[in-house]
Amino acid sequence: MPEIGLRGVTKRFEETTAIDDVSMTVRDREYLCVVGPTGSGKSTLLRLIAGLVRADRGSILIDGHVVNDVPPERRNAALMPQNYALFPHMTAWQNVSYGPASRGLDPEFIETRTRRLFRVVKLQNWAKAYPDQLSGGMQQRVALIRCLAGGAKILLLDEPLGALDARLRLDLRRRLKGFARRFKLTVVHVTHDQAEAISLGDRVLLLRRGRVEQEGTPRRLYFNPRSIFAASFIGERVLLEGVTRETHEGLARIEVSGIGSVLAVAKGLARGDLAVLSVRRESLRFAGPSDRDMNRMKGVVRDIRPLGAYFRYSIELPRGNLVHAHVPSSVALESSVSQGSEVELCFSPRETLAYGYPMRGLALEVEAL
Amino acid sequence: MWSRRSLVQWIGRLSSNRLLSSSVYGMSVLYFILLILLPAILGVLMRLGSVEQVLGNQPLLSRSLSAVASSFVLASAVSVLDIIAGLPLAWVIVRKKAKWVRLLDALVDLPLIVPTVTLGFSVLLFWSSSGPLGYLGLPALSPGWVLVVLLHFSFSYPVVVRVLVGKMLELNLVYETAAKTLGATPFTAARTITLPLLSSGVVASLLLAFARSLSETGATIMVAGAFENGPVFIRNSLSEGLEGPLVFTSLVLITVSVAIFYTVKALKVNLQVPFERANVSLERKLSRGKVTTVGFYVAVAILLIFVVLPVVSLSLNYAPAVLDTEIAREVLSGSGIWGDFWSGVLLSYAVGCVVTILNVIFSIPMAVLISRRKLGMMSSMILNGLVSVPIVIPSVALGVSMMFFWSNVSLPEFWLIVFSHLSITYPYLVESLVAALDDIPTYLEETARTLGADSFRSFATITLPLARYSLLSGAILTFTRSVDETGATLAVSSQLRTVPVLLVDWVKNPFPGSELAVGIGTLVLLLTSIAILVVLKKISGGERNA
């Protein structure tokens, strides 16, 4: 039952605190995605679990045992770094059988297991190739089965899809998940790509400056971001600034200059507070006659881009700021709105989230760090 | 197979013992400090009292000071000449695609293979009246400072070109291309973009040539005549049996060269020429095909005339003698002087082997300590700086220091020679290993750890195999440097004579037939050195290049 736990773990590197009092649990066979901007401590978190760096404070548990003093080779947690770290001087076969051979397992057993793993990823014919003779996708598969050959049940993936081109990335996302299920793995998958985290993780953990900003199911992170940072990091949002006029039962009426009065879901806002509103781009739509009880804003269409399932409309508001609305392609194709049209957008108060205005300013707050 | 596996696992179990692994690192540091570093410096300081002999003697003082000054003037002049002639040649080798460039590339390596005494005798012969100059009826050059300059140029020039070629290959052409698309002529682009980017390489090769020139002793003695630089003066004082001048001169050489070396390193000299002051029309002219072509041919001509031809001429001169069965039989029989010769060869190679093995064993943990910053950033940097001290110290001064340091312990002469060679060659191995380890990403070893390999196994199966080419080339360099070494060997030995020392002796104290003997001896030395390199290349080749 490979289960991972962190209890108040802190890791400092000279001046900077990479991981700051983090507690978390990864349950058996869970696929956890850790997401966060560059420098948020994602890789350090992975290296702490792998045993490559030692925690300054707190304890790390695997299967309920404290492993702070257990060296990496005895933790049974295999790491796959971003560039895969395939050993360049060994063939694919030697790479994969490296783990079990290091553990001193029986050669016949190693042979059978390695062969089976190569069959699983359909690379039987490439076993004798050296890493530099393999394509990026093949290298990734070899790196994956190499992690499993030694019997590890914990898989630590550091940006596993980062080095691949966009098309391959989408394809391998699906395979990665199937792979984890098939081998009953507990996975910690680190990425800076929120879409990857949302589409892969059973649970998602958002890190920021070494602290857990929010954790939960993808659905929760997507629809109920706890902070303006989480809101701007997960999904694509429209952010508007305003002043709180009144609050009532978790709802607030906020005055936004150039737009007017907007109703939003709010917690901890009081009358007179400066607020930031967050609306998902796909929650914006063109207002029709039947749209009552909706927030509304007017603007001029400056640009229209077809982006697959949706069209992106760039709309200039009266105060000159630009917002983007994602409109389903089926709707957009029927629409008569064109560049230069004046449009009215509407969005539901339930999908409008209000947060207190961040102390150091909005731009700094939503900037990656 | 089974036994090898269990051996590795046994060592692995030992290596997870922290005490044991730290004692291995500790031993390697002790080895460095007690055997390599301290004897090289302390020996001279222990005899500081005898300096009074020199300070109180005005003629001796001025003679030794002028010898030291000659050393530094010579080294500076030679290294600057190396750079001036080396940059165009390196440029040709890196940028021209023609087939003859590959031949050129191989020719540059030639003096790296030729033992320095062979080179010394070649230079002596080539410019003498019995060489091609005499043939053409031109005035010959007699032994003296001009020949010393030519000799030092010939052995340091290839080193400089090698370093520059390496650095140029690392350069990204993108910057130069970008400069050209922005309107820079090829010459301007080279001066404002490539040269500044190369500056660290230029400084490194300058220092290397400088140190080599300061150190060279044996071949210099051959061609020096009445000219005295530091090493020649020390050698003369040795034969005169004076201790004061030895200590004084060595001390000054050590102090000044260490000071110069570390000042240059600390200053990180920037070679960029301000581009505002560019003379556009001049540079446009310089960029024309003809001008650059002429420049390249001059560089190639310099290589041929000053470096390649002397060696070729020596070989042609004595090849008939070596091939003559009568003479060959006499040489191989080992009778008379040839007995001395062969025991010298044996001694040289025995010392070379012992030195290489010891240094390989102890430099690996040291390189790991430095490269992986096992002792923290600061101490790693300090260690790294200290490691190159023996390269900087002129080898004859190092030998003098060694001799005094070990004089209280009655060490057999063989070991004195070994110790001095250990010190001289140690930096080459450590530095090439550190450079190799720095290039091997740590994540490879880390990943191996998470796959189940303990720290020793991950080092032995991942890092060491990836560094094996650097280890091998470092070992070859160590071996050839040891066999080639004369300065320190002269200083520490009175009975035993390694083969280069013997040949220098023959040149300085001629006897009937000695010129032929030296010619044959140097040629035999050249052939064995080529043979050894070929064998080593065979051993290291054939494997997949990682």
Separation CA A146–CA B282 (nearest Å)? 61
- Chain segment B2-43, per-residue pLDDT in tens: 455 566 666 666 666 677 888 889 999 999 999 999 998 888
Separation CA B338–CA B333 (nearest Å)? 8
Structure-token pair, residue B232: 């020649």
Separation CA A236–CA A292 (nearest Å)? 25
3-state secondary structure B382-396: HHHHHHCHHHHCCHH
Residue B141 pLDDT:
80
A-chain residue closest to B543, CA distance: A89
Percentage of chain B lying above the pLDDT 90 cut: 24
Q: Is A88 on the interface with B (CB under 8 A)?
A: yes
Q: Is A85 on the interface with B (CB under 8 A)?
A: yes
Least confident of A3-12, A151-160, B290-299: B290-299
- Strand A260-266 relative to strand A16-26, pairing: unpaired
CB contact under 8 A, B452 and A88: no
The contacts of residue A66 (CB under 8 Å, 6+ apart) are A59, A60
Average pLDDT, rounded, for chain B = 85
Residue A174 pLDDT:
83
Residue A167 pLDDT:
82
Structure-token pair, residue B223: 């061609």
Please, are residues B41 and B241 in contact by the beta-carbon 8 Å criterion? no
CB contact under 8 A, B443 and A150: no
Arithmetic mean of pLDDT, A264-273: 88
Please, are residues A351 and A280 in contact by the beta-carbon 8 Å criterion? yes
Residue A94 pLDDT:
94
Question: Which among A87, A130, A146 has CB closest to B444?
Answer: A87
Q: Is B7 on the interface with A (CB under 8 A)?
A: no
Sign of CA dihedral B373, B379, B381, B385: negative
Of chain A residues 28-67, which have a CB less than 8 A from chain B? 47, 50-52
Residue B543 pLDDT:
47
Q: Is B49 on the interface with A (CB under 8 A)?
A: no
pLDDT at B263 over 70: yes
- Residue B69 is which amino acid? A
Which tops the pLDDT comparison, B109 or A127?
Answer: A127
Arithmetic mean of pLDDT, A3-14: 93
Q: In what order do the strands lie in the sheet with A65-66?
A: A16-26, A4-13, A57-62, A65-66
- Strand A154-158 relative to strand A77-80, pairing: parallel
Residue (of A109, A50, A123) closest to A85 by Cα position: A50
CB contact under 8 A, A147 and B455: no
Q: Is A70 on the interface with B (CB under 8 A)?
A: no
CB contact under 8 A, B452 and A99: yes
Give the DSSP per-residue string, A150-217: TT--EEEEESTTTTS-HHHHHHHHHHHHHHHHHTT-EEEEEES-HHHHHHH-SEEEEEETTEEEEEE-
A287 three-state secondary structure:
coil
Cα angle, residue B303 at apex, residues B203 and B144 outer, rounded to 5°: 85
A-chain residue closest to B9, CA distance: A104
Task: Please name the residue that has the structure tokens 């898989």.
Answer: A155
Question: Which among B441, B447, B465 has CB closest to A89?
Answer: B465
pLDDT at B510 over 70: yes
Residue B391 pLDDT:
85
Separation CA B70–CA B230 (nearest Å)? 7
A100 three-state secondary structure:
helix
Residue (of B151, B69, B158, B75) closest to B112 by Cα position: B158
Average pLDDT, rounded, for chain A = 91
Arithmetic mean of pLDDT, B448-463: 91
The pLDDT confidence band at residue B77, using thresholds 50, 70 and 90, is very high
Q: Is A113 on the interface with B (CB under 8 A)?
A: no
pLDDT at B163 over 50: yes
Percentage of chain A lying above the pLDDT 90 cut: 67
The pLDDT confidence band at residue B546, using thresholds 50, 70 and 90, is very low
Which tops the pLDDT comparison, B268 or A172?
Answer: A172
Least confident of A216-220, A342-346, B373-377, B445-449: B373-377
Residue B1 pLDDT:
42
Residue B529 pLDDT:
84
The pLDDT confidence band at residue B193, using thresholds 50, 70 and 90, is confident
The pLDDT confidence band at residue B175, using thresholds 50, 70 and 90, is confident
Separation CA A330–CA B257 (nearest Å)? 79
pLDDT at A254 over 80: yes
Q: Which residues of B touch A89 (CB under 8 A)?
A: 465-466, 544, 546
Q: Check residue A335 and report its DSSP letter.
A: -
State the smallest CA–CA distance between residue A368 and chain B in angstroms. 26
The pLDDT confidence band at residue B80, using thresholds 50, 70 and 90, is very high
Residue A1 pLDDT:
66
Question: Which among B5, B444, B452 has CB closest to A85?
Answer: B444
Least confident of A20-24, A362-366, B62-66, B406-410: A362-366
Residue B26 has φ and ψ, to the nearest 5°, of: -60, -45
Q: Which residues of A touch B451 (CB under 8 A)?
A: 73, 78, 98-99, 102, 146-147, 149-150, 152
Q: Which domains does chain B have, with CATH numbers?
A: 19-545 (1.10.3720.10)
What is the ipTM score, two decimals? Answer: 0.82
A-chain residue closest to B545, CA distance: A89
pLDDT at A369 over 60: no
The pLDDT confidence band at residue B544, using thresholds 50, 70 and 90, is very low
Which tops the pLDDT comparison, B12 or B118?
Answer: B118
